[in-house]
Amino acid sequence: MISIKKAIALALGCASCIGTGIQAQTEDFPKQPIKLIVPWAPGGNVDITARAVAPAMSEILGQQVVVENKPGAGGFIGTTGVVRSPPDGYTLMLGSSGSISVGPALARKPPYDPTKDLVAIGPIHSVPIVMSASAKGNIKNFDDFKKKATTSKDLISIGSAGNGSSQHLALELLALRMGIKLNHIPYKGSGPALNDVVGGQIDMMMDQLTASISHIRNGTIIPIAQTGKTRSPLLPNVPTFGELGIKDFEMVTYTGIFGPTGISQPVLDKLTEALKTTLTRADVKERFAGLGVDIITVDRATFQQDVNKDFANSQAIGKAANIVINE
C-alpha cells in the first residue's frame, strides 16, 4: 500500500510532468500552419480583413497563417466548424459582428453560443455600414430611396451578406424605423451581393465600407447613407442616417480573431501578442486607413466583454423588430 506522503509526491510529480509538457507545447507553438477561417465568401469585409493581417501574423509567428473561406448559412457553417475544432490554436476564425453577435442572436436554433463556445484572441477594427445603390438604377440619393420605398408598388431589392449578417440586421432595423418594407436578398457573403448590385441585378446593398469603397471609388455603386455616428473621412459628402432624420439608427460593426473555447492561456497570449504586433505595422495600418476602418486598441478581456454586450444588444433589436432566421 502506498503511503499518503508517497501518493502526494507522485501526484505532484505527475502535475509537474503535465506542466512541463504544456510549457514545452507552448514554447514550440506554432509547429504547423494555422488556419484562419473566414465564414463568408471572398471579396467581403471579413475576407479583406483576414487577408490584410494574415501575412504579417505569419511572419511574426514563424508559421503560415492560411486564410480559408467556408461560406454558407449566414456564416454558421464556417463558425460551427471552428467551434467544433480542437482547442489547440491551429484553427481560428476571422469573426465579425455578423457571425459572432448578430447571426446567433437572431437564429431560432443557433448552432453555437458565442459567449460560451468561442474565445476572443483580440480585436482588429470597427467600420460603419453603407447603404449603396446600383449606378445602373434610378436611385441616386436618399430622397429617391425614400420616395420609391414609400410610394412604389415594387419593393426595393436590397442585398446583404446573408441571413443573420450585420447588414441584414441593419436593413431590417432601417425598415422598422422608417415604417417601410424592403425585399431582402441574402447572399453567401458580400462579394457576390456586390457583384449583383454593380451589375444592376438588385437595386441596392447594405455593406461594410471595407468592401464597398473600391466600387464607390470607381463609380459602379452610389453611396446613399452611412450608419456611423459621424461621417467617415472616406465619405465626407455622404450623410449619416441620423442626419437624414432616422433616429436611433447607428451601427458600427467589428472584426476580430476568435478560437474555440479551451485554448490554453499561454497559446492565447502568444496569438494575442502576434495580432497586436500585426496591427502596429505601418503597412497594415496604411491598408486599413485606405479602407476607412478604425483599428480597435482595447485589450482582449475588454473586447470579449464588448462582444458579449453586442450579442445581447442584437438579441434585443431582433426581438423588437421580430427578426427570426431559421438557419
Give CATH 3.40.190.150 domain extents, the chain.
31-125+254-321
pLDDT reported for residue 323: 86
pLDDT reported for residue 11: 41
pLDDT reported for residue 26: 66
Q: Other CB atoms closer than 10 Å to residue 287's CB: what's the count? A: 17
Using an 8 Å Cβ cutoff, are 258 and 101 in contact?
no
pLDDT reported for residue 15: 45
Residue 135: left if φ>0, alpha if ψ -120 to 50, beta else—which one? alpha
110 three-class SS: coil
pLDDT reported for residue 267: 98
pLDDT reported for residue 5: 43
pLDDT tens, N- to C-terminus, the chain (327 residues): 444 344 334 444 544 444 444 454 567 999 999 999 999 999 889 999 999 999 999 999 999 999 999 998 889 999 999 999 999 999 999 999 999 999 999 999 999 999 999 999 999 999 999 999 999 999 999 999 999 999 999 999 999 998 888 999 999 999 999 999 999 999 988 899 999 999 999 999 999 999 899 999 999 999 999 999 999 999 999 999 999 999 888 888 999 999 999 999 999 999 999 999 999 999 999 999 999 899 999 999 999 999 999 999 999 988 888 888 875
pLDDT reported for residue 7: 37
Which tens digits make up the pLDDT trace of 269-281?
Answer: 999 999 999 999 9
Q: Which three cell numbers stand for residue 288?
A: 486599413
pLDDT reported for residue 249: 87
Question: Which residue in the block uniquely carries the three cell numbers 473566414?
Answer: 38
H-run or E-run covering 169: helix 166-178
- The CATH number assigned to the domain with range 128-226 reads 3.40.190.10
Q: What is the pTM of this model?
A: 0.83
What is the topology classification, in CATH, of domain 31-125+254-321? D-Maltodextrin-Binding Protein; domain 2 (3.40.190)
Please give the sequence-ordered ranges of beta strands (E in DSSP) within 234-318, or none if there are none.
Answer: 252-260, 294-295
Give CATH 3.40.190.10 domain extents, the chain.
128-226
